[in-house]
Amino acid sequence: MDGGRTFLAATVGPVLVALIVLCLAPLGVLLVVSFFRVDFVSIVPDPSLHNYAQVLSSGSYRYLIAKALMSGATIAAITAVIAYPVAFFIAKRIREVKAALLTALLIPLYTGDLVRIFAWRLILGREGVLNSFLIWTGAIDRPIETLLFSPTATTIVLVYNYLPFMVLGLWLSFETLDDHLFEAAADLGAGRTTILLRLVLPLTAPGLVAGALMVFALVVGDFITPQLIGGASGVTVISAIADLFGAAFDWPLGSAIAWTLLVAMVGVVAAVVVILGRTPWGSAAFGRG
């Protein structure tokens, strides 16, 4: 027993230390600094709620935070709709080339964000691949100017960038499903819609929720894609924070915005958990069913 406890302490201890040092400590520093103020080019440790009051009273900051949360929720929903049949097909309809398909799904992630973004700029640009193809086929007479540097372009690229995370989460859930469950449900007279809503969806809910949370958090924290693809609409709360930590040298205000965004994200996730927890498949996802 003592040997087991010693081994557990030896393995868990370093993980906890790394978690505290690499994750919690930086957040703690941001929290402390968010109560300070800036005097010219110096950060003055004068604790107050001035920075948070400025964030909450600013319509611009409130708009950017709401925009980030809405964007994260929208992309999570779109990727879920696309990824669900893709993950089911990979997990249940193929055998020999499953590893190849999963590898192909992950290949874009190996290229880096900038490479993928500039590839999409070549596709969506005024003289890009898509416009050239549409003109060649006679579908349009002149290039479509709004393909690039628009909210639509930003949505397309964000979905492309983060779709693999949703597919992987759902694929793992589908892999654990026993095919005999479908056969048994069909033998008992259940139709496809009933099987989907009362069997498949509750059992794959953990993967769906995990993928949605990953996509939501990644999209909210992404500012490179909106800036390089969205044009004038690409201003985000993350870019505002970066500017405050950079040229403006207002670290306390930047820290306050970052913590406000973090609290808002936690609030959204908590609200979703409460709402979905009241549904049958949501109860299964959160371990209540």
SS3 per residue for 204-226 = HHHHHHHHHHHHHHHHHCCCHHH
* Helix ranges, the chain (H): 2-19, 25-33, 50-57, 59-92, 98-110, 113-124, 129-137, 151-175, 179-187, 192-195, 201-220, 224-229, 237-245, 251-276, 280-285
pLDDT (mean) for 101-127: 86
| pLDDT tens-place string over residues 34-50 | 999 888 778 888 888 99
Cα–Cα distance, 224 to 228 (Å, whole number): 6
Cα–Cα distance, 174 to 163 (Å, whole number): 16
Q: What per-residue confidence (pLDDT) applies to 14? A: 78
39 by DSSP, 3-state: which? Answer: strand
Structure-model confidence comparison of residues 202 and 61, the more confident one: 61
What pLDDT band is residue 265 in, cutting at 50, 70 and 90? very high
Q: Which of 56-65, 192-201, 232-241 has the highest mean pLDDT?
A: 56-65
| In the predicted structure, residue 185 carries a pLDDT above the cut 80 | no
| In the predicted structure, residue 3 carries a pLDDT above the cut 60 | no
**Domain annotation for the chain: domains and CATH numbers:** 59-285 (1.10.3720.10)
Q: What per-residue confidence (pLDDT) applies to 220? A: 94
Q: What per-residue confidence (pLDDT) applies to 5? A: 65
How many of the other CB atoms lie within 10 Å of CB of 40?
6
How many of the other CB atoms lie within 10 Å of CB of 75?
25
| In the predicted structure, residue 197 carries a pLDDT above the cut 90 | no
| In the predicted structure, residue 73 carries a pLDDT above the cut 60 | yes
Q: Which pair of structure tokens corresponds to residue 154?
A: 């930003």
Cα–Cα distance, 257 to 174 (Å, whole number): 39
Q: Which pair of structure tokens corresponds to residue 177?
A: 């499903």
Q: Amino acid identity of 35?
A: F
Structure-model confidence comparison of residues 192 and 68, the more confident one: 68
How many Cα neighbours within 13 Å face the side chain of 201?
15
Cα–Cα distance, 150 to 171 (Å, whole number): 32
| In the predicted structure, residue 281 carries a pLDDT above the cut 80 | no
| pLDDT tens-place string over residues 221-238 | 998 899 899 887 788 999
| In the predicted structure, residue 72 carries a pLDDT above the cut 60 | yes
pLDDT (mean) for 125-134: 87
Q: What per-residue confidence (pLDDT) applies to 100? A: 84
pLDDT (mean) for 140-157: 87
- Residue in 237, 286, 240, 245 with CA at minimum distance from that of residue 264: 237
Rg (CA), the chain: 23
Q: What per-residue confidence (pLDDT) applies to 255? A: 95
Tell me the pLDDT of the chain averaged across its residues: 85
Q: What per-residue confidence (pLDDT) applies to 180? A: 77
Q: Which of 5-14, 41-50, 74-83, 141-150 has the highest mean pLDDT?
A: 74-83
Cα–Cα distance, 34 to 253 (Å, whole number): 6
What pLDDT band is residue 187 in, cutting at 50, 70 and 90? confident
What pLDDT band is residue 9 in, cutting at 50, 70 and 90? low
pLDDT (mean) for 277-284: 64
What pLDDT band is residue 280 in, cutting at 50, 70 and 90? low
| In the predicted structure, residue 211 carries a pLDDT above the cut 80 | yes
Residue partners of 116: CB distance under 8 A and separation at least 6: 108, 157, 160, 161
Strands 42-44 and 37-39: antiparallel
Dihedral angle sign, alpha carbons of residues 215, 219, 225, 229: positive
| pLDDT tens-place string over residues 75-111 | 999 999 999 999 988 888 787 788 888 888 888 888 8
Cα–Cα distance, 286 to 281 (Å, whole number): 9
Cα–Cα distance, 273 to 265 (Å, whole number): 12
Q: What angle do CA 84, 86, 91 make, to 5 degrees?
A: 95
Q: What per-residue confidence (pLDDT) applies to 164? A: 92
